[in-house]
């Protein structure tokens, strides 16, 4: 609950008295005034109030965090918002996938050059391909709107409000094993 001495960031921004039971108080603490300022600028206080009143109390914190994240992204990039960040990350994934494919091809070539002469007739395994989206087989996993992200301008986000976490996994295959290598 908000105290009378320190109104929540929303009530302070809107220059109104923060009453006990204020719907904004749990989600916009007084020490984070910019969070509400961004949300108010993009979505408006009345729309946020309606949204918070229409959802269950245990869903409100996630909703406010989503609104705050999108609002910050829209302030940084008014045209693309979060899609710009997603596009940037997708291009980075594509670049890293190409590097991984090239490294796998080099490993296969190296491993195949080390094969004894009596096994040289066995075909090498090709590098793994990106998996296919099962809902739309014509689209590779990671494509946004069938390649829409390729048309976006260069990224305007020098820093992200979140940490990038990389999940590395290894796949093994042997040259001349004759089996198929799993998709990445």
89 with 47, same domain: the answer is no
Task: Write down the pLDDT at residue 17.
Answer: 92
109 with 94, same domain: the answer is yes
123 with 71, same domain: the answer is no
Residue bearing tokens 């996938």: 97
Q: Evaluate whether residue 158 is within a structural domain.
A: yes
Q: Domain range spanning residue 166?
A: 82-184
Task: Write down the pLDDT at residue 131.
Answer: 54
Q: Evaluate whether residue 182 is within a structural domain.
A: yes
Task: Write down the pLDDT at residue 122.
Answer: 58
Contact status, residue 156 vs residue 134, Cβ threshold 8 Å: no
137 with 163, same domain: the answer is yes
49 with 128, same domain: the answer is no
86 with 72, same domain: the answer is no
Q: Evaluate whether residue 107 is within a structural domain.
A: yes
137 with 154, same domain: the answer is yes
Successive 10-residue mean pLDDT values, the chain, 184 residues: 70 92 92 94 94 94 94 91 91 96 93 67 58 51 45 46 43 46 44
Where a domain ends, among 76, 107, 130? 76
91 with 152, same domain: the answer is yes
Residue bearing tokens 């829209």: 74
The alpha-carbon radius of gyration of the chain (Å, integer) is 25
15 with 70, same domain: the answer is yes
Residue bearing tokens 């080099």: 106
Give CA–CA dist 16/10, Å, rounded: 9
Report pLDDT digits (tens) over 82-132: 898 899 999 999 999 999 999 999 999 988 887 555 655 656 556 555 555
53 with 133, same domain: the answer is no
Task: Write down the pLDDT at residue 85.
Answer: 86
Task: Please spell the DSSP secondary structure of 89-133, one letter per residue.
Answer: HHHHHHHHHHHHHHHHHHHHHHHHHTS-GGGTTSPPPPPPPPPBP
């Amino acid at each position: 609950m908000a105290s009378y001495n320190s109104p929540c960031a929303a009530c302070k921004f809107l220059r109104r008295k923060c009453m006990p039971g204020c719907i904004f108080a749990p989600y916009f603490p007084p020490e984070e005034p910019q969070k509400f300022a961004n949300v108010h600028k993009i979505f408006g206080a009345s729309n946020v109030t309606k949204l918070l009143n229409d959802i269950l109390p245990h869903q409100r914190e996630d909703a406010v965090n989503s609104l705050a994240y999108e609002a910050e992204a829209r302030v940084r990039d008014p045209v693309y918002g979060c899609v710009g960040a997603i596009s940037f990350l997708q291009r980075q994934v594509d670049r890293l996938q190409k590097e991984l494919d090239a490294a796998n091809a080099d490993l296969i070539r190296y491993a195949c050059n080390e094969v004894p002469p009596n096994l040289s007739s066995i075909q090498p395994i090709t590098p793994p391909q990106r998996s296919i989206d099962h809902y739309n087989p014509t689209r590779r996993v990671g494509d946004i709107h069938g390649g829409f992200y390729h048309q976006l301008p260069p990224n305007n986000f020098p820093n992200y409000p979140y940490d990038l976490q990389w999940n590395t996994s290894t796949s093994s295959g042997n040259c001349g094993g004759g089996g198929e290598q799993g998709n990445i």
